[in-house]
Structure 1
Amino acid sequence: MTAKNEERVQALKKVDTILFDLDGTLINTIDLILESFLHTMETYYPGKYTREDVISFIGPPLSETFEKLDPMKMEEMTQTYRTFNHAKHDELVKEYEGVYETLEVLAEKGYKMAIVTTKRGDTAVKGMKLMGIDKFFDVVVSLDEVTNYKPDPEPLEKALEALGSTPEKALMVGDSKHDILGGKNTGTYTAGVAWTIQGKEALAVYEPDIMLETMEELLDYLGVNK
């Protein structure tokens, strides 16, 4: 570990606020998201999109993705996606090992925590409740509450304000470039997760302060006694 990296790691021990992305970070919605995109693509572009093709769709809001494909059908495609997504939600959403236990320890230690997501609030809460982690979060900043989404600092700043915290005491944890860049644009520390669907190496390009191989590692970086 370089001296600079060691300095970053030591600085993380002063963090008292954790901002988490939701999908692909705390709950495993990857199969649900990919299947929802594939269903939508097959509806409008039969035979043209594979699983590998739609991986790049993950991260930004649905409106941005579908507007690039066909501005005239953006709302229709979004509704097609959401109808399928809600119908298959409980069947396809899975947990990530160690997430619940890590959140439980952080809550017990008094860390301020919030969800910052680019999905709608009702869908976010649905997934959180399914995995039993909703009780750890009083603050959820979803697409419904903001004008600008990650990597714009607005949603992170809104979460920090609600928690009564500041960027220099906060860490943004996520699985996409939008999370890492959102943290950097806000002035927080940043943590990537190695289980990102885009691949650990692709996320490392954006230079998060740390890369978590497991969620439990977060406790080590924060200097938390389990």
Structure 2
Amino acid sequence: MSMKALLFDFDGTLLNTNDLIIQTFMYVLEERFPGQYSPKDCMDFIGPSLIETFEQITPDEVEVMIEKYRQWNQENHDALVTEYDGVVDTLEKLKMQGIRLAIVSTKRRDTIAKGLELMGASHLFEFVVGLDDVKKVKPDPEPVLLAIEKLGVEKEEVMMIGDNYHDIEAGKNAGVKTAGVAWSIKGEEFLRTFNPDYILQHMSDLLTIVEES
């Protein structure tokens, strides 16, 4: 069965928000726990939802910390994000070929919309499944299954693409094909341990995968 739809994680997959995320965590954690966290520590917080992360770090102040995080993140967003090579160009080619594109992320839809607008890619995606659309986030299959339902396609025709194990596990749990991106801050070898069906060295690899499926 041929590939008809591609589901993408957003952060670290379509847009390089790693520096933004790390610096935002450093800002809020340095204020709350001076000198206790390093940028390397903050790498562990890339992927899980903010609720999961702050429930572990500051269980009594989850909402306050999330609000501080979001405020600083929004204010510094455009200055700290960068684009990955070939992402928008590849998405445009896939769209022209009739491949259906959607985003499945643990971020809120408004933050994703900001990033997409900056990339000039808002028009390429049919919809976004964000934090506000589901009860359970990746690696639970709920967000992926919701996207499949919205698309009205068969699982065999879908692939989930991301930079973290949450994406690969969510795809596997939902019964779809999976791909990890080699430009993940976690590293290609780390992603390989979760056995995705594909590893993308460059976004344009998707054109070949879709053609051969």
TM-score above 0.5, yes or no = yes
TM-score range normalised by the length of the shorter chain: over 0.9
Counterpart pick for 1:129 among 105, 114, 117:
117
Match runs of 1:135-146 below 5 Å: 135-146=123-134
TM norm structure 1: 0.92
- CA distance in structure 2 between the aligned counterparts of 1:19 and 1:50, rounded to whole angstroms: 32
- Supply the AA of the counterpart residue of 1:132: G
The answer on 1:108 being equivalent to 2:106 is no
2:65 aligns with: 77
Shift of residue 118, structure 1, vs aligned partner: 0.2
**Equivalent position SS for 1:71:** coil
The one-letter code sitting in structure 2 at the alignment partner of 1:87 is E
Q: Which runs of 5+ in 1 are unaligned?
A: 1-10
1:179 to 163, 167, 179: 167
Secondary structure of the corresponding residue to residue 32 of structure 1 = helix
Judge conservation of contact 2:100–2:126 (CA < 8 Å) in 1. Answer: no
* 1:42 maps to which of 22, 25, 30: 30
Tell me the distance in 2 between the aligned counterparts of 1:120 and 1:127.
11
Hey, what does 1:93 align to over in structure 2?
Answer: 81
Q: C-alpha separation between the residues in 1 aligned to 2:28 and 2:168?
A: 28
Aligned counterparts of 2:149 and 2:195: Cα–Cα separation in 1: 26
Mapping for residues 208-219 of structure 1, pairs under 5 Å: 208-219=196-207
| Partner amino acid, structure 1, of 2:205 | E
Regions of 4+ moved over 4 Å: none
Q: CA deviation at 1:139?
A: 1.1
Cα deviation for residue 200 of structure 1 reads: 1.0
Aligned partners of 2:58 and 2:92: how far apart in 1? 43
SS at match of 2:140: coil
Hey, what's the Cα distance between the residues in 2 that align with 1:199 and 1:45? 28
- Tell me what 1:190 maps to: 178
Cα distance in structure 2, aligned partners of 1:186 and 1:144: 19
**Is residue 2:108 matched to residue 1:120?**
yes
Report how far residue 53 of structure 1 moved: 0.7
Q: Is this contact kept in 2: 1:40–1:80, CA < 8 A?
A: yes
Matched, 1:159 2:147: yes
Aligned with 1:28 (options 16, 24, 29): 16
Q: Residues of 2 paired with 1:38 and 1:215: CA distance?
A: 30
Normalised TM-score (structure 2): 0.97
